[in-house]
Structure 1
């Protein structure tokens, strides 16, 4: 499977075949949030929408037992190869969002889901986010946490409200203003037409939302 090798600060090297989401500003922000969590041997971690496996590997480096899920075969294979290259153990499985983990419980769930509004994939960017908010509580152990990254464009208050209703009190733990990434930049005109961004905007605010199940 041909691909490029990307090197990232504190993240080692990962293979990035064409069509697999590689680490960008949102991934790195989530990695920074992960570093603040208590993770070690015996910690069960679920990485939803793993892409290249970058976050899964970051957790595995700290000794966690990591399950990484993605809906594409290419991403799953990439994660497995990157784990082998890094000498780490990661269970990478293909499936629809949380479905492969139903019946299991985790100390920590990580997700960098698709969140940029799009005409054919959730016009408000919440198509995947809402499903994560609805289903995460059933997969968390008491005291377990969900770390979710997304853009302020798709409604931070809505995410906090959904998690609260699901029994996962949540708050914003990180905010970072970053230049438009390639996905958002490719949809600039559509976002302008809908009034989601203003002419001349070239940055978006990313947030990390941390939700915790009661112990």
Structure 2
């Protein structure tokens, strides 16, 4: 078990739960720009250790966090208890645990790394691997976000440009949301991407001289 700084305070994260990294920090900055009040209902989809959910809770929001692994759920609950913040943490697949509920703000830092093989659900890689195109979770989030937002509600989503920005924007628009990129950030390839650079280059996802990954924040609003 290690402590990682999420920007608002340290978060406990065992090796099997995604630790706050550059993508978490970028999404936290986008979250800071949103108007949040005590009656704001926030949903964190794929919460991991709960860093983003706790950031919203610190601002007074009513926060629900969801993750598909029990180890992440337990970690987020522990972090909420240590931070002395109210946080509803549910186990389940994406929006399934909150069917029928509507939120003012949804944040998500889902798995998005292209992977050459099937994800092994019992491995730590479940926190980042997302199929050969990296879109196994992204496409489903784009499809389901619209029905989980109230009119005027906002989705904040972070992912790598390696898995395609245009498909995300198009998918969100098909769900009735107005979407655009608000932030771009280039970071050096991490250990996971470096370990599969040959495969990524063979697929044309990474150029021969590329050394950095582009992260994007997409903001989508339900206008009706």
Q: Same fold by TM-score, threshold 0.5 exceeded?
A: yes
Look up the match of 1:134: 143
Q: Provide TM-score, normalisation by structure 1.
A: 0.95
- Give CA deviations for 1:74-107 in whole Å, capped at 9, x if unaligned: 1000000000111101111110111111110000
Q: Which moved more, 1:177-186 or 1:16-25?
A: 177-186
Q: Secondary structure at the match of 1:15?
A: strand
Are the equivalent residues in 1 in contact too, given 2:48–2:67 (CA < 8 A)?
A: yes
**Matches of 1:139 and 1:200 in 2, distance apart?**
41
- Tell me the C-alpha RMSD between the 2 structures: 1.1
Gapped regions of structure 2 (runs ≥ 5)? 119-129
- Give 1:16 deviation, angstroms: 1.1
- Give 1:38 deviation, angstroms: 0.4
**Matches of 1:143 and 1:124 in 2, distance apart?**
31
Q: Secondary structure at the match of 1:113?
A: coil
Q: Which moved more, 1:17-26 or 1:118-127?
A: 118-127
**Matches of 2:195 and 2:109 in 1, distance apart?**
19
Look up the match of 1:44: 41
**Matches of 1:168 and 1:145 in 2, distance apart?**
9
Look up the match of 1:6: 4
* Residues 1:23 and 2:23 are matched in the alignment: no
**Matches of 1:147 and 1:95 in 2, distance apart?**
20
Q: Provide TM-score, normalisation by structure 2.
A: 0.91
How many residue pairs get matched?
Answer: 212
Gapped regions of structure 1 (runs ≥ 5)? none
* Inter-CA distance 188–138: structure 2 relative to 1 (3 Å threshold): same
**Matches of 1:186 and 1:68 in 2, distance apart?**
31
Partner residue of 2:158 out of 123, 135, 149 = 149
Partner residue of 2:72 out of 57, 75, 85 = 75
Q: Which portions of structure 1, spanning 4 or more consecutive aligned residues, are displaced by more than 3 angstroms?
A: none
**Matches of 1:209 and 1:182 in 2, distance apart?**
25
Look up the match of 2:121: none
* Residues 1:169 and 2:187 are matched in the alignment: no
- Give CA deviations for 1:54-77 in whole Å, capped at 9, x if unaligned: 000000000001011001111000
* Residues 1:183 and 2:192 are matched in the alignment: yes
**Matches of 1:182 and 1:84 in 2, distance apart?**
31
* Residues 1:98 and 2:107 are matched in the alignment: no
**Matches of 1:68 and 1:183 in 2, distance apart?**
26
Partner residue of 1:112 out of 109, 113, 119 = 109
Are the equivalent residues in 1 in contact too, given 2:6–2:51 (CA < 8 A)?
A: no
